[in-house]
Amino acid sequence: MSDLKSLQDCPARYILALNDTVNVITGKWKLPIIAALFFGKKRYSEIEKEIPNINPRMLSKELRDLEANGIVTRQVYNTVPVTIEYLLTSSGQSFKTVMDVMLEWGLEHRKNVLEGDKV
Amino acid sequence: MSDLKSLQDCPARYILALNDTVNVITGKWKLPIIAALFFGKKRYSEIEKEIPNINPRMLSKELRDLEANGIVTRQVYNTVPVTIEYLLTSSGQSFKTVMDVMLEWGLEHRKNVLEGDKV
DNA sequence: TATAGTTCTATACTAAAGTATAGTGCCTAA
DNA sequence: TTAGGCACTATACTTTAGTATAGAACTATA
C-alpha cells in the first residue's frame, strides 16, 4: 500500500488521515453501538436495551452519525407499525480488526504499566 | 492470547478494555503529540513548533496525561537552564502499529464511501 | 376506551473539553 | 539593562458533548 508509505513521511498528512478513523470512534456511545451490531442486525429498542444508560436522543444521534459515515445501514420495512433495522456496512464489519488490534495493544500496555515500566 | 478470546465473548467487558486504548487517543492533541515523538525525542518548545495552533496550557496538560498513562517519559537534565526532553515509552512506540492499522482501515473505508457502498 | 409498544424528536439544561491572554522565574547574549 | 528564549502556570472564557424529561404519531391488544 503506497498510500500508507507516502503518508508516513508527512506527519501532518498522517494525522489528518488518521482523524478519519478517530472520528468513527470518538464519543461515549459509538463503540458500544458498533459492538452491539457485531452480534447481528438489531432494532432501535434492542440496541437501547443492550446499552445501559444511553438515552434516546444520543442513540438516535449516534446512529445518524454512523449512517452518515458509512458504518451503519438503516433498513426500513414496510410493516405496521414500521420496523427499522440497523446493521453494519462492510466497512463497519471490517472495523472489528481495528478494534481487536486496539484491544490487544491495551492489554499489553496495561501489563507494562503494572510492571512499572517507565521506558 | 486467551485474554482476547475471553473478552470477545463478553461485549460489556470488551468495550471496557477497549476504552483503555481509546483514552490514550481521545482529545484533539494527543495523536499529534505522539506522532511528533515518533520522530525522536523532543523538547517542549520543539513540539510546540511542530504542532500549529496548540496552546501551552494544552500541550503541558496533554504531556502530563500521556506521562501519567505511561505513553511518554519526561527526562530532566541538570543543566542551566534546565533541559527537559520528552520521549515515547516502549508502549508509546508500539502504539505506532495500532495507528498504522487505523490509518489503513481509514483509507480503505474512504475508498468504499467514495464508491457509494451502502452495504 | 385505556394501556402499552415502537421509533424516535424537542427543549432545556449541565459538564467536559478546548481557547485566549497574560505572566512567572530562570537564564544568556548584546 | 533590556531583550529574548525556555518551560511552563493561572485565570477567565467559549464551545462542544452529553443528560434529563417530556411527548408526538402511529398501532395492536385487553
Residue A67 corresponds to which amino acid? E
Residues 54-93 of B with CB under 7 A from strand D: 56-57, 60, 64, 74, 81-84
The answer to whether strand C lies under 7 Å from the CB of residue A14 is no
Chain B residues near residue A94 by CB distance under 8 angstroms: 105, 108-109
Quick: pLDDT tens for A52-82: 999 999 999 999 999 999 999 999 998 888 8
Burial B68-82, CB ≥16 within 10 A → b, else e: ebbbbbeeeeeeeee
Q: What is the pLDDT of residue A2?
A: 56
Q: What is the pLDDT of residue B18?
A: 93
Percent of chain B with pLDDT over 90: 75
Q: What is the mean pLDDT of residues B12-38?
A: 93
pTM to 2 decimal places? 0.92
Cell of B55: 496552546
Q: What is the pLDDT of residue B106?
A: 95
Residue A117: pLDDT band (50, 70, 90) is confident
Residue A11: pLDDT band (50, 70, 90) is confident
Give me the residues paired with residue B37 across strands: none
Place of cell 478494555: B17
- Provide the CA B55 to C1' C23 distance, Å, integer: 15
Task: Select from B28, B36, B34 the least CA-distant residue to A105.
Answer: B34
Cell of A112: 507494562
Residues 6 or more apart whose Cβ sits within 8 Å of residue A23 = A69
CB A41 within 8 A of CB A87: yes
Q: What is the pLDDT of residue B2?
A: 56
Q: Does B76 touch chain A (CB under 8 A)?
A: no
CB A21 within 8 A of CB B103: yes
**DSSP symbol at B82:** -
Q: What is the pLDDT of residue B63?
A: 98
**pLDDT surpasses 70 at A24:** yes
Task: Select from A23, A6, A10 the least CA-distant residue to B38.
Answer: A10
Torsion of CA B48, B49, B51, B53, to 10 degrees: 80
User: Whole-angstrom Cα distance, residue B104 to residue B94?
Assistant: 16
CB B27 within 8 A of CB B62: yes
**pLDDT surpasses 80 at B53:** yes
Q: What is the mean pLDDT of residues B105-109?
A: 95
User: Whole-angstrom Cα distance, residue A73 to residue A29?
Assistant: 17
Do residue A105 and residue B97 have CB atoms under 8 angstroms apart?
Answer: yes
Give φ, ψ of B86 to 5 degrees.
-110, 140
